[in-house]
Amino acid sequence: MALATAAVSLHPFLSRPASVLRVGLRLPPLLLRATSSTSASASPDFNITFAEPAPSKKAPSAQPLVPWIVRGEDGKPRLSTSPPPDVLQAIALAEAEAKKAAKKETLKGPKGAVAAAAAAAASNASVKARKNAPTAPPKFSKAARRFYNENIKEREPQRLAKVLAAAGVASRRTSEELIFEGKVTVNGSVCTSPQTKVDISKDSIYVNGNRISKKLPPKLYFAVNKPKGYICSCGEDSKSVVSLFNDYLKGWNKIQPGLPKPRLFTVGRLDVATSGLIIVTNDGEFAQKLAHPSSNVTKEYVVTIDGAVHKKHLIAISEGTKIDGVMCIPDLVEPLDAQSDTRKTRLKIVVHEGRNHEVRELVQNAGLQVYALKRVRIGRFRLPADLGIGKFVELKQADIKALEGNK
């Protein structure tokens, strides 16, 4: 009878769902005492009853504390409830990798295109922010960086015709003709394409049986006070502007031992009757940039007029004239102090087109005769007053920048 009563009283627990039993409720102390008493004596009159269990509260989802054996500052091992720093770092890295992998999986979904576009926009914004951020001062001087770029930095392969011109073989056009004629070999094979990419420091290049040096001459820039009667030609004419450098090039091996001689040429042209400032270099890209009309670099001339100049002449010059079908208008026309000979008048004319015989055409279109023409300025660089006729001076970096800028 007592066992039946106990079974009936236990029925509420057995009829509860499994989730309630899994919570791990402890039996009331009364039940424990009653059970032990029942096992000790079989008194059928002992009435076993259970109190209603208290409503269960969900246990917090806290991770169990795992003891860690770490080495303390004294060098002895001890127990710790927190992982060592290296374990924490490994966990953080693993979580970061998991986030990256989840992000990649998200981009593969149907909304991946939108997410990718947003990521690209964020990346572009960060790039723009870095560009607009103030830059730190350069670590090395300009001279050190130029030396590194010219002597140490690996050069990218360039077109064969350009390499031959830079090596001083000939002009780029003449170099192309040599290539077309089959007079150039690259690594033992005849090359007939000027567009072939070569590296002069690695490839073996021969022209007419002569090997090209693996070193290129340095970039040179000179300002020359051109005399009247000299032509702007790269030939071996005794009256060419380049011939003024003959003595300089004869002593090249003493100045730059081990380097090939540079092939010098003029930047633009001054006609045979014009004197004054002209630039001589071996840098083709610089020459093309400075001489092209699209650069809009201003050039100042002093024109000596045979006869008197009146206001109508100045107006006619200022209005401009057509040269090769293009309307050329000067930037400035200004009379200068008259010379001691009253039959001669000087004018200052500034132009930026740089077309052939431009200043002479402007003056002659106004009904005047040019007695002498001299160029005194290019950009912001002015012909040095102490530079004699037929003399030259090597330009510094500040002078080169002045050539490319205007007032």
Domain spans, the chain: 2-40, 154-211, 221-403
Q: Which helix (H) or strand (E) holds 13?
A: helix 2-14
> In whole angstroms, what is the distance from residue 386 CA to residue 204 CA?
46
Q: Does domain 221-403 have CATH number 3.30.2350.10?
A: yes
> In whole angstroms, what is the distance from residue 100 CA to residue 94 CA?
10
Q: What pLDDT does 70 receive?
A: 72
Which candidate in 45, 199, 237, 271 is catalytic? 271
Q: What pLDDT does 308 receive?
A: 85
Q: Are 207 and 260 in contact (CB under 8 A)?
A: no
Q: What pLDDT does 184 receive?
A: 92
φ, ψ at 295 (rounded to 5°): -70, -20
Q: Are 38 and 46 in contact (CB under 8 A)?
A: yes
- What are the Cα distances from residue 246, in Å, to 249, 251, 252, 271, 388? 5, 9, 10, 21, 17
Non-local CB neighbours of 357 within 8 Å, separated by 6+ positions: 271, 323
Per-residue pLDDT of the chain (407 residues), as tens digits, is 444 444 444 444 444 444 343 444 444 444 444 444 444 444 455 455 555 555 555 444 445 555 677 777 777 777 777 777 777 778 888 888 888 787 766 655 555 555 566 666 666 666 565 556 555 556 677 777 766 766 666 567 888 988 888 888 888 888 899 999 999 999 999 999 988 999 888 889 999 888 888 888 889 999 999 999 999 877 666 789 999 999 999 988 888 888 888 889 999 889 999 999 999 999 888 888 888 777 889 999 999 998 888 899 999 999 998 888 888 899 999 998 765 556 788 999 999 877 788 999 999 999 999 999 999 999 999 999 999 999 999 999 999 999 987 65
> In whole angstroms, what is the distance from residue 256 CA to residue 249 CA?
10
First-to-final CA distance of the chain:
121
Amino acid at position 347, single letter:
L
Which one, of 195, 204, 207, lies nearest residue 158 by Cα? 195
Q: What pLDDT does 99 receive?
A: 83
Q: Are 217 and 256 in contact (CB under 8 A)?
A: yes
Q: Name the DSSP letter for residue 386.
A: T
> In whole angstroms, what is the distance from residue 285 CA to residue 299 CA?
20
Query: Strand (E) positions, 72-213?
Result: 77-80, 158-159, 184-186, 189-190, 197-198, 205-207, 210-211
Indicate if 221-403 has the same CATH topology as 154-211.
Answer: no
Residue 261 burial (CB count, 10 A): 15
> In whole angstroms, what is the distance from residue 249 CA to residue 227 CA?
20
pTM for the full predicted model: 0.59
Q: Which helix (H) or strand (E) holds 266?
A: strand 265-266
Report angle CA 271, 373, 401 to the nearest 5 degrees: 80
> In whole angstroms, what is the distance from residue 199 CA to residue 158 CA?
7
Q: What pLDDT does 136 receive?
A: 57
- What are the Cα distances from residue 241, in Å, to 163, 253, 284, 289, 317? 24, 22, 17, 20, 30
Tokens 């010098």 belong to: 264
φ, ψ at 169 (rounded to 5°): -70, -50
> In whole angstroms, what is the distance from residue 195 CA to residue 179 CA?
10
Catalytic annotation present for 271: yes
> In whole angstroms, what is the distance from residue 141 CA to residue 138 CA?
7
Q: Name the DSSP letter for residue 240.
A: B
Q: What pLDDT does 202 receive?
A: 85
Q: Candidates 3.40.190.10, 3.40.50.720, 3.90.850.10, 3.10.290.10; correct CATH number of 154-211?
A: 3.10.290.10
Q: What pLDDT does 127 receive?
A: 57
Tokens 């002069």 belong to: 200
Q: Are 46 and 2 in contact (CB under 8 A)?
A: yes
